[in-house]
Amino acid sequence: MNQLDDWSIIRRMTATLSSRKKARPASDTRAELIRIGSDIIAHKGFNSTGINVVLKEAGVPKGSFYYYFSSKEDFGLAVIDDFAAEYDAQLDLTLGNPDLLPLERIRRYLRTAIDDMEACDNSRGCLVGNLGQELAGQNESFRLRIDAIFSSWQARVTRCLVEAQEQGYVDPAADPAALAQLLQMGWQGATLRAKVSKSVEPMQRFKRMYFEQILGVKN
């Protein structure tokens, strides 16, 4: 084998190794599709988000999309599950924080949501809440998944309120589950109103009213 052949082999090996380094791992490709899809859906809604737009933004061919997701509905459910998992991790830092008093956990949770809304210029809101309004009446799979997520979040608030009641911060005659449901329903409405009015004032007002007028404690 002459020197020219040697260099040809080396160049081919280098090109192969380079292409392998540039290739995106399968798990990264799926995560990137979900990340980009979440952002687009949060702004445009699910029905108005075309798969081709997501693929173009991600730089992924259509064949790869259907390798990870069987349909647009399957993709949408994956987006919801991913958002819920990330949100649960955030809730661990607020509603699940054992170093905070139970009502302070709820305050921290609401303040964090207000900060997040301000950070995105009141343009996103809650992805699960947005999709619930858009799809609950159209698709049973989405409705069931979103309802389960809301129930999970509500259960976290209920546990905080039970603790607060046991510690004497909440009226012993009150129903913690009902108070948690009221918070969730009102908060979704306040979040939607903040998005429409381009101001977090509705969220701040609801937070103040919930603590002072519903729970009867200082906001």
Tokens 């969220």 locate to 203
What pTM was computed for the model? 0.80
Q: What share of the chain is helix, strand, coil (3-state, %, to 5)?
A: 75, 0, 25
DSSP class per residue in 80-137? HHHHHHHHHHHHHHTTT-TTS-HHHHHHHHHHHHHHHHHHTTT----HHHHHHHHHTT
Q: What is the pLDDT of residue 78?
A: 96
Percent of the chain at pLDDT > 90 equals 75
Q: What is the pLDDT of residue 22?
A: 44
Please, what are the domains in the chain? 72-214 (1.10.357.10)
**CA angle centred on 195, ends 194 and 196, rounded to 5°:** 95
Residue type, 94: T
Is the pLDDT score of 33 beyond 60?
A: yes
94 or 26: whose pLDDT is higher? 94
Is the pLDDT score of 10 beyond 80?
A: no
Is the pLDDT score of 8 beyond 70?
A: no
143-192 pLDDT tens trace: 999 999 999 999 999 999 999 999 999 999 999 999 999 999 999 999 99
Mean residue pLDDT of the chain comes to 87
The pLDDT confidence band at residue 37, using thresholds 50, 70 and 90, is very high
Is the pLDDT score of 24 beyond 70?
A: no
Q: What is the pLDDT of residue 120?
A: 85
57 or 2: whose pLDDT is higher? 57
For residues 205-216, average pLDDT: 96
Q: What is the pLDDT of residue 18?
A: 39
